[in-house]
Homo-oligomer: A and B are copies of this chain.
Amino acid sequence: MSGMPLTERTLLGPGPSNPYPEATAGLAAPPLGHLDPEFINVLEGTCARLRTVWGTSNPVTLPLSGTGSIGMETAFANTVRPGDVAVIAVNGLFGTRMCEVASRYGAEVVRVDHTWGQPVDVERVLAAHPSPAIIAAVHAETSTGVASDMAALGQAVRERLPETLLVADCVTSLAGSQMAVDDWGVDIAYAGTQKCLGVTPGLAPFTFSERAWARRVEVPPVWYLDLGLLGAYVRGGPGGRTYHHTAPVSMIASLDAALERIEHEGLQEVTERHRAAGELLQNGLQEMGLELFAAEGYRLPQLTSVRVPEGVDSAKVREQLLVEYGIEIGAGAGEYASSVWRIGLMGHNARLDRAELLLGALGRILGR
């Protein structure tokens, strides 16, 4: 087979990351039909396990059949009515994208810009509009490596804007950071499989609260992302389980296997593993004389952003890592494309050995 060259990469960019071996085994297992009773058991188990990693009891918790971005699209497609005010915190690329997507559904977007590399400022977001229909923010900004305090934002929204729905982008945080969407008061959250969940890209884990359900758009403009129809397949209904689209059965089996592996290791242990690997990496980079990009105190352990040293060709270093060591790291996003590197230690790669490997290879290339 010359299709996918069997090159093996160590994927230490902003995602995809190398999958857990269990996830690969699940992916390659003989597929079942999407209406097979055994597959329905797998799907129900997957949804239950997703509730655990999200920290939610939301019945509408499921893997959407697309990559992480489809989670963002589904969030807005099912909640925005033309003219609705959406206050969106922007502290990186994915906040910017939320503005774009919400606008397509007719939202009147009130954009609260932050300096990239800084966390979301809860007070500025709350002050942006007296009664928005939606407030949205990114929990873990993949473009900058910054964690924002979703618990604080959720508490403020619940106390002061009880009618507002809160949307959280958790693409890079789910199963890597501590997560408690119910306790935090987050109504709608989405993630991707290719980051801390340790699965190849192709699904968007999604959760939608009962409050959001009661206020959802009954006939959203997008049929494929219509939660009413999706719910009839995933949860069943009075008329039984209704076919909507053919579920990506192998991807779901892969996600289920990864979630089972995470459950077996322990969710807290997995989070701690991400923390420890990130700490080793970030300390090592600083010892090497490099400067971290994200604000201190708000650095994601699973995704480290670091400034490219003066006089160093960013792209050339990435190429050397790729060609000589088989290691992928990411360029910066947006205007930081050539002045920042992004290094992910996510899922199966959230390990001390991966951190050491990267420090060794990067140090040798930079001569530090």
User: Which residues in B have their C-beta under 8 angstroms from that of A4?
Assistant: 26, 29, 32, 42, 253, 256-257
**Which residues does chain B contribute within 8 Å of A45, judged by CB atoms?**
3
Show 10 residue pairs from A and B whose CB-CB distance is below 8 angstroms, ordered by the A residue: A8-B30, A16-B33, A16-B249, A28-B28, A31-B200, A33-B328, A104-B219, A194-B246, A201-B250, A202-B251
Nearest chain B residue, comparing its CB with the CB of A25 = B1
Contact mask A242-257 → B, CB, 8 Å, 1/0?
0011111111010011
Copies per complex of this chain: 2
Within 8 A of B (CB), among A90-107: 97, 100-101, 104-105
Contacts of A221 in B (CB 8 A): 104-105, 221-222
Name the interface residues of A227-249: CB closer than 8 Å to any CB of B: 244-249
Write the nearest CB–CB distance from A96 to chain B, whole angstroms. Answer: 12
Please, how many angstroms separate the alpha-carbon atoms of A24 and B250 in the complex?
Answer: 10
Question: A4-B253, A31-B200, A202-B248 known; A104 and B222 CB under 8 Å?
Answer: yes
CA distance A231 to B15 in the complex (A): 21
Chain A interface, >50% SS class: loop
Q: Which residues of A contact B (CB under 8 A)?
A: 1-9, 11, 13, 15-16, 18-19, 22, 24-34, 36, 38, 41-42, 45, 65-70, 73, 77, 97, 100-101, 104-105, 192, 194, 200-202, 219-224, 244-251, 253, 256-257, 259-260, 322, 328
CB distance from A63 to the nearest CB of B (A): 11
Beta-carbon contact of B219 and A5 below 8 Å: no
Given contacts A7-B38, A251-B251, contact A24 B16 (CB under 8 A): no
Q: Does B223 contact A222, Cβ atoms closer than 8 Å?
A: no
- The reply to whether B73 and A224 contact each other, CB–CB distance below 8 Å, is yes
Name the distance in Å between A250's Cβ and chain B's nearest Cβ. Answer: 4
Question: What residues of chain B lie closer than 8 Å to A66, measured between beta carbons?
Answer: 65-66, 70, 224
- Return chain B residues, CB-CB under 8 Å to A16: 31, 33-34, 246, 249
Please determine whether A328 and B36 come into contact, CB atoms closer than 8 angstroms.
Answer: yes
